[in-house]
Amino acid sequence: MLRVAGLSKSYGHHEVLRDVDLEVETGEVVVVFGRSGSGKSTLLRCISFLEEPTTGTIEVDGISLSGGGHRTKSKRDRIRRLRVSTGMVFQSFNLFPHMTALENIAEAPRVVLKRSQAEAEATARELLEVVGLPDKAAQYPIQLSGGQQQRIAIARALAMNPKVMLFDEPTSALDPELTGEVLAVMRRLSTEMGITMIVVTHEMGFAREVAARMVFVHEGLIIEQGPPAEILANPRRPETRAFLDAVL
């Protein structure tokens, strides 16, 4: 479903990602973890071309894009399609404050996919069910808890029917008692809907139960990856071990 090949990203002389390769199968959940500043957010932003890779190729469901070079019409068109194919959920939920939950979810399908208002709202109501908030359609973000806002943000990303969902520390801005409801929704996306996901998180319980694979990023490199049972119990690299000792 997703292939990242030879991805590097520099800001000026600072090389933030260095020759990263990553493949994710359809329906697979991959947890990415590592120290602050190691390049995890940059990796997700390059995958969705919110940031252009300095070099390397991103391929999502057959749409292939290389970093660098001119923005031809064909490339701009593929960037648009790639962004639709990759749903992003951020740490700070970023809902539109002047729109209700329902309007937040229906907006992009209406504007970008040209769905009719009725169709977009019908889909939005289904997605409110999926994230367990069918009674919050008319609420504004400010009237919702952080956990509820993040679940609306997940529904909003799903409304574009993405091929891959990218989560960037989706629970780290939440009070501890609210993280469980968001992780539960994410788990359902995997187990009940088979959604392909890359999740940057330090919720190791979630990783252990839901992820097929964990990927450790250190100074812009993937230095270790494997099944959660192996990575969590027997990390091979001292950097991975030191990080896990600090968070567990």
Stretch that binds ligand ADP, among 31-39, 118-126, 177-185, 187-195 (CB under 6 A): 31-39
Measured over all CA atoms, what is the biggest interatomic distance in the chain, rounded to whole angstroms? 55
Residues in the chain: 248
We find the least distance from the C-beta atom of residue 100 to ligand ADP, in angstroms, to be 31
Residue (109 or 170) nearer to ligand ADP, CB: 170
Indicate whether 39 belongs to the interface with ligand ADP (CB under 6 A).
Answer: yes
Please give the size of the binding site for ligand ADP, defined by CB under 6 A. Answer: 10
Report residue 2: phi and psi, to 5°.
Answer: -135, 135
Indicate whether 42 belongs to the interface with ligand ADP (CB under 6 A).
Answer: yes
DSSP string of 2-51? EEEEEEEEEETTEEEEEEEEEEE-TT-EEEEE--TTSSHHHHHHHHTTSS
DSSP 215: E
Look up residue 186 and give its two tokens.
């994410």
Q: Which of 27, 37, 134, 227 binds ligand ADP (CB under 6 A)?
A: 37
Indicate whether 36 belongs to the interface with ligand ADP (CB under 6 A).
Answer: yes
Choosing among Mg ion, ligand ADP, none, which partner's interface includes residue 39 (Cβ < 5 to 8 Å by kind)?
ligand ADP
Give the footprint of ligand ADP on this chain (CB under 6 A).
Answer: 11, 16, 34, 36-42
